[in-house]
Amino acid sequence: MTPRRRTRRFVTALLRDRRPPRFEADAEEARLLQVATALRGARTATDLPSAEFVSGLEEQLRAQLDAAPAATRPPSRRGFLIGGGIAAAAAAGVAVDLGVRHTDQPDRAAQGELVPSNGTWRQVATLADLADGRPRRFSAGPIEGVLVPQPGGGVHALSAVCTHRGCLLEAQAAQLLCPCHGASFDLQGAPVDREYLTTPLPRLRSRVVDDRVEVLVV
């Protein structure tokens, strides 16, 4: 493979958030790889580790470092809080700074809920808007969400921020799709495949008053 071609393959992988190919680089290629890496590493808000990685590595370290088996240790509540905090930061973006807290998770694969500590109910749609039964995106201040009409009536609301890299999801008829890297979620907010190490989308508090659909926001 020509140097130019392999450097391009490296850059393409980098831009797709995949592990770049390895090869013996000459001095010129090395400069290109490293400048590409520095550029890609300078993205903001996407340089946080996933909650799954943080807790997975903790388990790996425990197996390696501790004589005591993990099963005999009390569950690490703080670990969940840290992990949840990162997931919430990635999922809620600015909303976290504005007083949304991530509720406790019974396990790290579970769906959290974003509840503003000082919230107000805001109308984001009417029932007529949801009459076609399809999910519908909304923005309400710092909250980017999606409304999911339920078969038996009622409406659920989910965060519409991808838990992979923080892009805004597109609402499709049967799924929520991330335009950035292709991660997708079902209409309950569960990740459809595990390739992206995504966590479930946090739920948002919602209610229907008369024909108004309201979401609790900060």
Partner 1 sequence: MDQESAASRLRVVGAEDTSGWEDLYRAHVVAVYRFVFSRCGNRPDAEDITAAVFLRALPRLRPTASEGEARAYLRATARSVLAEHWTTHYGAELTEYNEDLAPSPPAAGGDEGAGNRRRVSSLLARLPDQYRRVLELRFLRGLSVRETAHEMEVSVANAKVLQWRALRRAAGLGEERS
Q: Which residues bind partner 1 (CB under 8 A)?
A: 4, 8, 11, 13-15, 17-20, 22-25, 27-44, 46-49, 53-54, 57-58, 60-62, 64-66, 76, 78-79, 82, 86, 165, 167, 180
**Least distance CB 134 / partner 1 (angstroms):** 25
145 Cβ contact list (under 8 Å, min separation 6): 124, 137, 138, 139, 157, 158, 159, 160, 204, 215
For partner 1, give the closer residue by CB, 62 or 205: 62
Residue 102, token pair as written in the block: 């991530």
**Least distance CB 71 / partner 1 (angstroms):** 16
For partner 1, give the closer residue by CB, 11 or 127: 11
**Least distance CB 13 / partner 1 (angstroms):** 7
**Least distance CB 31 / partner 1 (angstroms):** 4
For partner 1, give the closer residue by CB, 24 or 107: 24
Residue 132, token pair as written in the block: 């076609």
For partner 1, give the closer residue by CB, 2 or 117: 2
For partner 1, give the closer residue by CB, 78 or 194: 78
**Least distance CB 29 / partner 1 (angstroms):** 8
